[in-house]
Amino acid sequence: MLTSIENRLEQLFEAIELMPADKVERAERLKDKERRQRLREEKMDAQRLIQEERIQRALERARAPVKKKTGKPVMFRSAPPQKKKKRTQDNKNKEEGTSLGSI
């Protein structure tokens, strides 16, 4: 069985070698083009199926009842109290000096 397949392949390869080279190249390009087109269509079909599944899941989520949150509501942390600036002795002296100098 295997030998008959090998013999048949050898006959076909010899027939290809006897054909004009440009005709063989055209046939190979045509087959490659068909193969690429088939792969492109399969990829598009797969993407279409994935998109349909996404749409179905979105519709199911839209139809589902709204989940009500239970428990204590989240409280946001308040801002820390503002610290009052303490006046230093230097600032007091400067203020006193400016007030005395203006008199």
Q: Enumerate residues 6+ apart whose C-beta is below 8 A from 24.
A: 16
Mean pLDDT computed over every residue of the chain:
88
Phi, psi of 97 (to 5 degrees): -65, -35
* 53-103 residue pLDDT tens: 999 999 999 999 988 888 888 888 888 888 887 766 666 666 666 655 555
Alpha carbon distance 96, 88 (integer Å):
13
At 35-50, the pLDDT tens digits run: 999 999 999 999 999 9
Question: Which tokens in the block code for residue 25?
Answer: 């190249």
Single pTM value for the model: 0.51
For 28-80, the three-class secondary structure string (H helix, E strand, C coil) is: HHHHHHHHHHHHHHHHHHHHHHHHHHHHHHHHHHHHCCCCCCCCCCCCCCCCC
Q: Give the pLDDT of residue 70.
A: 86
Tell me, what's the pLDDT at 26?
Answer: 95
